[in-house]
Chains A and B, each alone.
Chain A
Amino acid sequence: MTLQGMACIEARGLRKAFGATIALDGINLRIEEGRILGLVGPNGAGKTTALNAILGLTSYQGELKVLGRDPWTERDQLMRDVCFIADVAILPRWLRVSQALDYVAGVHPRFDRVKAEGFLAKTNIRNASRVRELSKGMVTQLHLALVMAIDARLLVLDEPTLGLDILYRKQFYDSLLNDYFDRNRTIVIATHQVDEIQHVLTDVMFINRGRIVLNCSMEEVESRYVELMVRPEELAAARALRPLHQRQALGRTILLFDGVDRQQLAGLGDLRTPSVADLFVAVLADKPGDKPGNQVGQALGNYEGAAR
Chain B
Amino acid sequence: MMMPNAARTLAAVETASIRVAVAGNPNSGKSTLINSLAGTRLHVGNWPGVTVEKKEATLDHRGRSIALIDLPGTYSLSPYTEEEIIARDFLVHDRPDVIVDVVDATNLERNLYLTVQLLELGIPVVVALNIYDEAEKKGYKIDVRAMEIALGVKVVPTVATRKTGMGDLLEAVTGATAKGSRNVPRSLNYGEDIEAAVQKLTADVARRHPALAEKYPERWLALKLVEGDHHVLAEANLSDADSLAKDAVGHLKEAHGEDLESLMADARYSLAAGLTREVLKRPAVKTTELTEKIDRVVLNRFLGIPIFLAAMWLVFKLTFDMSKPFVDWLDGTINGPFTRWVETLMGFLHGPEWLVSLVTKGVIGGVGFVLVFVPVIFAMMFFITFLEGSGYMARAAFVMDRAMHSMGLHGKSFIPMLLGFGCNVPAIYATRTLENPRDKALTALLIPLMSCGARLPVYVLFTGAFFSAQAGMVLWSLYVMGIVLAVLVGVLFKRTLFRGESPVFIMELPPYRMPSGRSLAIHTWEKGKHFLVKAGTYILSVSVLVWFLLNLPWGVENKKDSFLGKAGSAIAPVFAPLGFGNWEASSSLIAGVIAKEIVVGTMGEIYVKEIEKKPEGPAPTFFEDLREIGTSFAASGKEAFSNVFSTFGIASLKAEEKEGRATLRSVIGKTFTPLSGYAFMVFVLLYMPCVVTAVAFRHEFGTWKWFGVAFVYQTVLAWSAAFVIYQGGKLLGFGG
Indicate whether A and B interact: no
A residues within 8 Å of B by Cβ?
none
B residues within 8 Å of A by Cβ?
none
